[in-house]
Amino acid sequence: MQRRNALTAGMVTLVTFVAFEAVAVTAAMPTVAQALDGVALYGFAFGGPFATGIVATVAAGTWCDRRGPARPTLTGVVLFSLGLLVAGLAQDIWTLIAGRLVQGFGGGLITVALYVVVGRAYPAAEHPKVFSALSAAWVLPAVVGPAVAGLIVEHLGWRWVFLLIAAATLPVAAVIHPHVRRIAGGAGTAAGTRVPWAVGVAGGVLLLHWGGQRHGLDALLLVAGGLLVVAACGPRLLPAGTFTGRRGLPSVILVRGFAGAAFMQADVFIPLLLTRERGLTPSLAGLTLTAGALLWSAGSWIQARQGQRFTPAVRLRAGLTGIALGVLSAVAMVAPAVPVAAVVAGWCVAGFGMGLASPTVSALVLQLSPPDEQGVNSSALSVADSLLTTVVLAVGGSVFAALVTAGPAAYLAAFLIALLPAVAGALLAGRVTVRTPAAPAAVASPRAAVPG
């Protein structure tokens, strides 16, 4: 028991640093982009790590099954820290992006490996408690991370946001490694056959970003080629019918991808708008992200306690509508006459919407999956979230780069691109549950039918 307590503490600490990196870099990146003259590549700095993370997520599952989670965990932490170190020492935007790509791959390995550790090192009765602790590790960074990152940027310099996390992460790996290395591997699965498709998706996304930096025919060819590669490889990583919105599990996974893509696309451009166009300090701009995180937690809390009064489709439609309203507040912020308070309030609504949608989707995936497919479908949920998010960031970042000299038009385009998946998800929400045959009229209940 004492050994497991030490392992749990180490994993929670590691997840806390990973979470802090995610929210802190979002707050610091506007300053980084301006310092390295890389505003045109702003979207790439976020989309790139998602792309490499997809490859790591797919590859780590097979690696953990065959060899155990020790090597993937240690490799993930080393690459995560190395990527942060490269980014923190970067003298140009391309070096920073290279560090972010390495860091994203390491983070993908860590995420999958820790789930395997929980599954193999703890009895089933303790799984909910451990997963709850790992989820709670995101709360504090989400609340204080943007403000702390802003203060670090203002008083120490943006490089220390990366360097401090890199320095803090490696010792945690040394703490948990002796416990994790005792966990053996198994026979492995066929999931490794998906790795080439994941590599293809990552390559397609990188083509999209590259095309966004070009002009004329070259740009069109690269963007079209990237979209074709993603369209050919992406469906191989997800349940059949996901991209056509097939009723049931495929639509659940697609809705989650739409929600994450819409939220992230707006979330990364709001601080840039506030610091570059409205003159806010990084710490003040980060408060918008903090407000969204707090309302995300509030939405999750209310969903868990009161949400069962409504069908999953209703909760998801409300959540995606909230995200859409938050994005619309960002669209309005492009006009100088609109006060900053409008986007703060709007992003609170968006965060609340994510709090409603995210746990509803997770519960539906388990509910709609046979017991022996829950792991595969949960992995598909993570892949869909990363896949759609990185594609939207790639498209949005490319359009932003093309219009960056046009001032407000670049931000307007970026936020309108975020609005599209939010609206699509709200429209698709009615297809997340499977229709069941109607009950006989004599015993029918007005609550028996599932809305379509």
**Distance (Å) of CA 172 to CA 9, 182, 315:** 10, 17, 38
The b-or-e profile of 27-46 (16+ CB within 10 A means b, else e) is bbbbbbbeebebbbbbbbbb
- Which residues lie below 8 Å from residue 187, measured CB to CB, with a gap of 6+? 65, 66
Tens digit of each residue's pLDDT (9 = 90 or more) over 23-70: 888 888 888 988 998 887 887 888 788 888 888 888 887 787 777 788
Tens digit of each residue's pLDDT (9 = 90 or more) over 159-173: 999 999 999 888 887
What's the rounded Cα separation, in Å, for the pair 150 and 154? 6
* Amino acid identity at 353: G
pLDDT tens for the chain, residues 1 to 452: 556 777 888 888 888 888 888 888 888 888 898 899 888 788 788 878 888 888 888 888 778 777 778 888 889 999 999 999 999 999 999 999 999 999 999 988 888 788 778 777 777 777 757 766 776 677 778 778 888 888 898 889 999 999 999 998 888 877 777 777 777 655 555 555 778 888 898 888 888 877 777 777 777 788 888 889 988 988 888 888 988 889 998 999 999 999 999 999 999 899 889 988 888 888 788 788 788 888 887 887 787 677 668 888 999 999 999 999 999 999 999 998 999 999 999 999 999 998 888 878 877 876 787 765 665 676 677 788 888 988 898 888 888 888 888 778 899 999 999 999 999 999 999 998 765 444 343 333 333 333 33
Helix %, strand %, coil % for the chain, to 5?
85, 0, 15
What's the rounded Cα separation, in Å, for the pair 157 and 161? 8
Tens digit of each residue's pLDDT (9 = 90 or more) over 64-105: 777 778 888 889 999 999 999 999 999 999 999 999 999 999
Neighbours of 191 (CB within 10 A): 18
